[in-house]
Amino acid sequence: MTETQTQTPLSYADLLASVVPAEGGREILDPATGEVVGRAPEHTAADLDAAVAAARAAQPAWAALGHERRAEYLTRAADAVEASAEALAELLSREQGKPLNGPNARFEVGACAAWLRTTAAFELAPEVLVDDGGGRAELHYRPLGVVGAIGPWNWPMMISVWQLAPALRMGNTVVMKPSEYTPLSVLALARVLNEVLPEGVLHVVSGGREVGEGLAAHPGVDKIMFTGSTATGKAIIRSSADTVKRLTLELGGNDAGIVLPDADPAAIAQDLFWGAFINTGQTCAALKRLYVHEDLYEAVCQALTAVAAQMPMGVGLEETNVLGPLQNKAQFDIVASLVQAAKDAGARVLVGGDPDPDQPGYFYPTTLVADIANDNPLVAREQFGPALPIIKYSSIEEAVAMANALDVGLGASVWGTDLEAARAVAARIQAGTVWINKHGAVDPRVPFGGAKQSGYGLEFGVEGLKHLGAPQVISY
Ligand code: NAD
């Protein structure tokens, strides 16, 4: 690791060439154009075993470095991400589909550096639990060993950093399994990080669901960090049971937002829009169902429609766009079928809802749907795309009951001018995070995790670090 290496920016061509296999591999297509982005390696069970063995071999020396040295490595890793930020953002945009601009590809790469830097700076001192003359008990957090990190396709680089940064900081080594839809982004991120990290501490195995299953069941892996769907989370609980692995599960959500009667529609419309449509709606903690009091229902619908009309959607590499395609055909079909279900039930489409069959790529237009029942599939299921249902309510009781009616509870939000009234409603919502007058604003210093079937365990902050450690009491 030298200063010069951390400062050297990689070009897009060099970065891509360094992660595609010399021969073979699976073609990865740009979801906006259908063009080939590159080929991803298809690793085998033997490759997985080799990666786990190498991670195990490297772990004692990495743990022995201590917190301060590991924090230095993470800071250098942040520098390396920043040095190659443009190449990383371009690859992410081509592979995932998200535009360079807006809260998208450049933003995601910036978040990777920010999370690495912030995670490096935390202090995790042993806690003295008892020290009363009769005895002393201290709580320490030791490394777990090897951490398996299984990720989704929506924020592939950022979520990988959410998993690997605290894992490495705590003295674990890491084997990542990226989504089969976005492996190149994660391979490229690891390539950049491995310029500065010691050999053997960070590995990527690229492949499909069977590689994820193999990692979750592997006897050489001590913990799984998983971000993805609730159905896969349940499968991981089952396949990790025989080895009693520690798990952090960040699963699906269907976040509710409640607009209180005293809210100012014009003032909140832009933030409501981005709360719902960040990453073209393909975000775990995006606003996915919006409950608006009847007194300002039409005003909010109008204000949101006006904001939606100003947001250009298109190919990610065109600098003017801030919304992109769905990442894959399966997700496009889910969004299309849910909007169709809303139309079939007589809901009012305020904007969108009518994809152009002649347009290449998986573009689904920005869609707002009003006058829709709470049990309509567009409300009750996670759409994970650019289609927001807006539901009218007449009493706070009714709004809270509708918000809490589902078996998931990742995030939620309350919007209004009386902060105390908003806080009182927030306290009644079953979700891991409730934002007030914003939605989805995650922060590397603030713990984040789901309620109900949105998962368990916490990420971020010092609490997040603790979840990557083995608690040990020393008592005398
Ligand atoms: P997914 O569950 O289909 O896939 C996620 C990863 O799990 C992929 O790498 C996949 O190959 C792997 N996988 C699939 N089956 C597996 C198995 N049986 N064992 C082990 N690994 C397996 O999720 P997705 O479609 O990529 O992501 C979208 C979902 O993720 C949405 O529901 C979204 O809400 C959720 N998500 C949650 C968060 C959060 O922080 N809570 C963040 C982003 C996305």
Distance CA 319, CA 309 (A): 18
CB distance 236 to ligand 1 below 6 Å: yes
Atom of ligand 1 nearest to the CA of 215: 20
Asked if 198 and 58 count as a contact pair (C-beta separation under 8 A), the reply is yes
Position of tokens 């924090």?
Answer: 71
At 212-226, the pLDDT tens digits run 999 999 999 999 999
pLDDT at 8: 83
pLDDT band with cut points at 50, 70 and 90 for residue 421: very high
Which of 84, 63, 329, 355 minimizes the C-alpha distance to 193? 84
Share of the chain above pLDDT 90, in %: 98
Q: Could you tell me the pTM of the whole model?
A: 0.96
At 49-72, the pLDDT tens digits run 999 999 999 999 999 999 999 999
| Nearest CA owner, ligand 1 atom 23 | 228
At 311-367, the pLDDT tens digits run 999 999 999 999 999 999 999 999 999 999 999 999 999 999 999 999 999 999 999
Mean pLDDT on 294-318: 98
Atom of ligand 1 nearest to the CA of 179: 9
pLDDT at 109: 98
CB distance 150 to ligand 1 below 6 Å: yes
Q: Is 27 a catalytic residue?
A: no
CB distance 248 to ligand 1 below 6 Å: no
CA of 151 to the centre of ligand 1 (A): 6
pLDDT at 46: 97
Asked if 299 and 338 count as a contact pair (C-beta separation under 8 A), the reply is no
pLDDT at 3: 47
pLDDT at 457: 97
At 389-410, the pLDDT tens digits run 999 999 999 999 999 999 999 9
Q: What is the DSSP letter of 468?
A: T
pLDDT at 335: 98
C-alpha angle 467-470-476 in degrees, rounded to nearest 5: 130
**For all residues of the chain together, what is the average pLDDT?**
97
Query: Element (H or E) spanning 141, and its range?
Result: strand 136-143
Share of the chain above pLDDT 70, in %: 99
Which of 5, 65, 84, 44 minimizes the C-alpha distance to 201? 65
DSSP annotation string for 9-73: PPPHHHHHHHHS-SS--EEEE-TTT--EEEEE----HHHHHHHHHHHHHHHHHHHHTHHHHHHHH
Over 80: is that where the pLDDT of 2 sits? Answer: no
pLDDT at 7: 62
Which of 284, 288, 448, 459 should be mutated for ligand 1, with most atoms under 8 A from CB? 284
| Catalytic position from the list 180, 213, 250, 382 | 250
The residue count of the chain comes to 476
